[in-house]
Structure 1
Amino acid sequence: MAIEVLPATAFTDIAAVLGPKRPDANVCWCLSYRIPSKLNVALRGPERGVLVQELAAQVPPPGVLAYDGDEVVGWAGVHPRADTSFARNRKIPHVDDRDVWSVWCIRVRPGHRGKGVSHHLLAGAVEFARDHGAPVIEGYPVDNHGEKVDLTMAYVGTRALFERGGFTKAATTDSVLNGFPRVLMRREL
């Protein structure tokens, strides 16, 4: 498997990973941390996909996509923290006032899990942030100590994944997901 990670500019590929099976469904589309909470709650059904399509046309786009050949197999949401809800999050601290980027969602399509795609996505998110001038990137994974994380909550990644990606723990948080504490992991670029 030769995984290539590219900026998420192809809306149809983003939709293949994040979109709903039914167009009227209110799935996340990886917007819950990317846009203000009131807007996130207000957007319904197809409106969510329309906003993602608009974000994909912006510079920088809202994240990166992983491809195995021509097939899209995964997604990572990555953007400047100042443009996300992490800029105002009370449970996840700010280490400093630098122009940090955040990676908050790593999703691998069914049938492609357990093959290392998440490692490629995290590395691609790091390169994407570096290519856009980020001095540092951080993520907020669970510290699960090797215990199984419910699949619906695994999108934040694990501390071990981030450590293997060159990140180090920079702070504890008050955030808990699926019963596991989240930690603030950081990597200098």
Structure 2
Amino acid sequence: MTIEVRPAQVFDDVRTMVGPKRPDADVCWCISYRVPNKIAKDLHREARGEYVRELMKQGPPGVLAYEGDEVVGWAAIHPRADTNFARNRKIPHVDDLDVWSLWCVRVRPGFRKRGIAHHLVAGAVEFARSEGAPAVEGYPVDNQGAKIDLTMAYVGTRAMFERAGFEKAADTDSVFSGFPRVLMRLNLS
């Protein structure tokens, strides 16, 4: 199995990873952290996908993992200043560095437990580095090995980020799926 991670530039592949199975469903599209809450709450069904299509005109909203020609994974990454993490009161700012936030790592069913999430994190970091990011932050749960509900596992785990070279930079006041979240950081310079 060869996994290639590249910037998300094909809308249909992004839709495969974060869009709904039914076009009339209200699903995340991975924009909840990317747009102001008011906009996210006002976007419903097909409008969410169209918003992502427009957002992609500004640049890739993350990275996609491919096995051959098949898209198998997604990671959302973007400069923190343009996300809700810039204003989040529960997740602190360590400093004023223009870091990038990595907030969603998703692997398609049927492809899980094959290390694709690790490829996605590494690919997201490389994408941020190529765009001049001085550091990348993630906000995973510190589940200490306990099982996580798969629908909530997209934020990642502290152990996953540590395996990718990230270090804990701060505790947060955020709790996700019953577990505390920590701020993990990987300096790129």
C-alpha distance in structure 1 between counterparts of 2:6 and 2:72, whole Å: 12
Residue 58 of structure 1 and its aligned partner are, at CA, apart by 1.6
Q: Give the CA deviation at 1:55.
A: 1.6
Displacement after TM superposition at 1:122 (Å): 0.2
Q: How far apart are residue 57 of structure 1 and its match?
A: 2.2
TM-score for the superposition, normalised by structure 1: 0.98
Letter in 2 for 1:54: E
Q: Aligned residue for 1:102?
A: 101
Residue type at the aligned position of 1:47:
A
TM-superposed CA distance for 1:54, in Å, is: 1.3
User: Partner of 1:93 in structure 2?
Assistant: 92
Which 5+ residue runs of structure 2 have no aligned equivalent?
none
Please name the residue that 1:50 is paired with: 50
Q: Does 1:5 align with 2:5?
A: yes
Secondary structure, in 3 states, of the residue corresponding to 1:155? helix
CA distance in 2, matches of 1:54, 1:130: 24
Q: Read off the aligned partner of 1:36 and give its amino acid letter.
A: P
Q: 2:134: which partner in 1?
A: 135
Residue aligning to 1:17 = 17
What is the aligned partner in structure 1 of residue 153 from structure 2?
A: 154
The equivalent residue for 1:35 is 35
Which consecutive aligned stretches of 4+ in structure 1 deviate over 2 angstroms post-superposition?
A: none
CA distance in 1, matches of 2:55, 2:64: 14
Amino acid at match of 2:128: A
Give the Cα separation in 1 of the matches to 2:93 and 2:115. Answer: 30
- Alignment partner, residue 185 of structure 1: 184
Amino acid across the alignment from 2:89:
R
Provide the C-alpha distance between the structure 2 equivalents of 1:120 and 1:136, rounded to a whole number of angstroms: 18
Residues 37-56 of structure 1: CA distance to partner in whole angstroms, max 9, x if unpaired?
A: 00000001000000111122
Q: Distance in 1 between matches of 2:104 and 2:34?
A: 10
Q: What residue in structure 1 maps to residue 83 of structure 2?
A: 84
* Equivalent position of 2:115 in the other structure: 116
d(CA) in 2 for partners of 1:147, 1:154:
12
Instruction: Give the C-alpha shift of residue 7 in structure 1.
Output: 0.4
Q: Percent identity?
A: 70
Alpha-carbon separation, structure 2, partners of 1:141 and 1:85: 16
Deviation track 1:99-156 (CA, whole Å, cap 9, x = no partner) reads 0000000000000010000000000000000000000100000000011000011000
